[in-house]
Amino acid sequence: MDDPREDAPTDPYRTRGAFALSAFRRERASGGRFAWAALLATCVAVCVAPMGCGSSEEHAVAPERTQGSLPARTVRALQACAEEGTGRLRRQAYEIGFKVELTDDRVQAVAPKGPRLDDAGLERCMMNALRTMADAGFSTDRTELVSYGGHLPARGVLANVTVLPEIVKLAEVVVAGPGGVTIVVVVVVVVIAAVVLSEDKPQEEVVEAIKRWPRKVLEKCQPRFDECLGNQYQPDWNQEMFGEKKDCRSCFDECKKDKGQWPNYKCPPPGWKPN
Amino acid sequence: MAKLQMSAAGLETELNPMQEGDDMPSVDEPHPLCWFCRKKPATELYIQPKSTKRVCATCLDRLQVQDAYEHAWLHFLVLEDEERYEEVLAGIGAFLEANRHRDHDQWLARSITRDRSSVLFEAGRYAEADEACDAWGRFPFDNVTDRWFHGSAKAQIVQALGRPQEALAIFEEAFSHQDPRYASAIPYYLHWLVDFSDAVGQPVDEKWRRVAEAGAEDFAVEMPVRDSLGESMLALAEMTREMPSKRQREWEATHGGGTGEDKP
């Protein structure tokens, strides 16, 4: 599912993620050297110069590391998606990109970038596979990440914490399904680390920090809201307490305020069978 | 399939002409009580993609208004995402005005007041969000979980206004309203006690241990033992999130596990 926030002009991740992926695509198209030279030059021009002249940080680009690969378990999951879903594709070869946001070694969001598959189910399957990549063993080198802090532009100062983004491009993965349909999967990971800078907690900045619902919260809540709208009747066991019909909008609001936790107690998902 | 739409002219809800299927109940069939309120005679059909229910005219209004409002939010969410808060506020206000005459039980007015508070909070307009939240609180609560939800929202606003001690007190007051029938919802709200207590540098007051234990009992588990009550509460919330409540276990034991949701 495409996230409309991707087009928000104030979203610094979009600028960085899109740039990284487009640079990567240019590299693929031209053999690589020119694109990487351009990327390096742009990083120097955009990251360093503005910090000296006080320009907006919105246009800064974080250095991109080209290292790492998807865990084997995630690759197998992607392959399983291909084996199950490529029969629904119309072409023989695809290249698809995903942006994965990672915080504290946890995947917070997965979004498609660039060309899409023409089967939403297969794309969702792949996004679900990527959502588990941290549990499957993917991790970033936190020490190295923090050491970049002096050179990275801050996304924004949140009270006594500065959020540092870093883009890590992973080795591409090629998966194939029945009939020889191949999909090149390109994954760019945006790593966000919080580094404590001082003990001061200016109230205004705390307020500013909580002013926006984090995108990851919306990404968790909105699919559940959609699901709720498609299945609005309470299961029998919940009707005495919460009536015949779920109040999906209220549950969505509660999910947002509860940092992305859907209130199963009053809007149980369809067919919810807890353990 | 019936489809609810907002009319282009006035955001009112309208029902497309129904396409009757073989299994569709007729209003002429004897059905004494409305499916929704179970009080008035069912004289109308509430048609949904997966099922059709016999309801009274008042409840038909209520259900159609809810459907239209919730689906309208799919549009408002896009605006909200683009930080077009004024348009969202204007949109929900217009929706209320266009449908007020159908809002017999004040569900819409209450929902819009709540959502207005939420939008204002997201826009960073905390003083206005606080006023809207107070207005929301003046509507009657359906049950204690509504009161807890309102309390947590109000406390978040007050905390954003720089009054964390008051925020804790507000949530504690709301959460002090307990109803054993809703014990399964307790674990969902425990983290607010932890969060608001943390914000003022205090451990969670021991007076809440019994409430947390009541939540654990509903899920037939012991309170997890941790270094602090707050940590135990968070562990309990995590542990029970995917577990069946007492109510669900009992219902399934006596009814064989059918869910009843959206049955055709």
More confident residue, A27 or B52: B52
Asked if A261 has any chain B CB less than 8 Å from its own CB, the reply is yes
Distances in Å between the Cα of A19 and the Cα atoms of A35, A41, B10, B142 are 11, 13, 43, 50
- Confirm if A89 and A126 have CB atoms less than 8 A apart: no
* pLDDT confidence tier of residue A100, bands split at 50, 70 and 90: confident
Picking from B261, B262, B263 by the largest number of A CB atoms within 10 A of its own CB, the best residue to mutate is: B261
d(CA B9, CA B15): 15
Is 70 exceeded by the pLDDT of residue B30?
A: no
In this predicted complex, what is the ipTM? 0.84
d(CA B81, CA B70): 16
More confident residue, B163 or A93: B163
What integer best gives the mean pLDDT of chain B? 86
A59 Cβ contact list (under 8 Å, min separation 6): A15, A46, A50
- Confirm if B237 and B244 have CB atoms less than 8 A apart: no
Is 50 exceeded by the pLDDT of residue A148?
A: no
Residue of A237, A249, A266 lying closest to B70 (CB–CB): A249
CA A113: distance to chain centroid?
A: 10
Asked if A216 has any chain B CB less than 8 Å from its own CB, the reply is no
Residue of B182, B191, B243 lying closest to A275 (CB–CB): B243
d(CA A178, CA A191): 34
Q: pLDDT of A149-204, one tens digit each?
A: 222 233 333 333 344 456 677 778 888 888 788 888 888 787 765 433 444 444 45
Q: pLDDT of A42-79, one tens digit each?
A: 443 333 333 333 333 333 344 444 457 788 888 888 88
Assigned token pair, A270? 């369809």
* pLDDT confidence tier of residue B65, bands split at 50, 70 and 90: very high
- Confirm if B111 and A250 have CB atoms less than 8 A apart: yes
Distances in Å between the Cα of B100 and the Cα atoms of A22, A266, B137 are 50, 26, 19
H/E segment holding residue A98: strand A93-103
pLDDT at A206: 46
pLDDT at A104: 66
Q: pLDDT of B241-251, one tens digit each?
A: 888 888 888 88
Residue of A nearest to B262 (CA): A233
Asked if A249 has any chain B CB less than 8 Å from its own CB, the reply is yes
User: Lowest-pLDDT range, A225-239, A252-266, B9-23?
Assistant: B9-23
H/E segment holding residue B117: helix B107-122
* Nearest CA-CA distance, residue B227 and chain A, Å: 23
Q: pLDDT of A199-219, one tens digit each?
A: 444 445 544 544 455 566 778
- Confirm if B125 and B133 have CB atoms less than 8 A apart: no
What is the pLDDT averaged over residues A80-107? 81
pLDDT at B105: 93
pLDDT at B202: 95
Residue of B nearest to A5 (CA): B81
- Confirm if A46 and A38 have CB atoms less than 8 A apart: no
d(CA B131, CA B120): 10
More confident residue, A34 or B89: B89
How many C-beta atoms lie closer than 10 Å to residue A8's C-beta? Answer: 15
CB contact under 8 A, A241 and B182: yes
* pLDDT confidence tier of residue A272, bands split at 50, 70 and 90: low
Question: Residue B151, SS3?
Answer: helix
Distances in Å between the Cα of A214 and the Cα atoms of A5, A46, A152, B116 are 11, 26, 21, 19
* Nearest CA-CA distance, residue A202 and chain B, Å: 10
Give the β-pairing of B44-47 and B52-55.
antiparallel
* pLDDT confidence tier of residue B110, bands split at 50, 70 and 90: very high
CB contact under 8 A, B188 and A208: no
Residue of B nearest to A205 (CA): B160
Q: Ranked by mean pLDDT, which of A4-8, B46-50, B172-176 comes out on top?
A: B172-176
Assigned token pair, A147? 């050491």
CB contact under 8 A, A274 and B242: yes
CB contact under 8 A, A229 and B70: yes
> Taking the CA of residue A13 as centre, how many other CA atoms within 13 Å lie in the half-sphere pointing to its CB?
24
**Sign of torsion, CA B206 B208 B214 B220?**
negative
- Confirm if B155 and B170 have CB atoms less than 8 A apart: yes
More confident residue, B230 or A103: B230
CB contact under 8 A, B185 and A261: no
Q: pLDDT of B197-251, one tens digit each?
A: 999 999 999 999 999 999 999 999 999 999 999 999 999 999 998 888 888 888 8
Is 90 exceeded by the pLDDT of residue A122?
A: no
pLDDT at B70: 93
Distances in Å between the Cα of A262 and the Cα atoms of A33, A86, A225, A254, B218 are 47, 32, 9, 7, 19
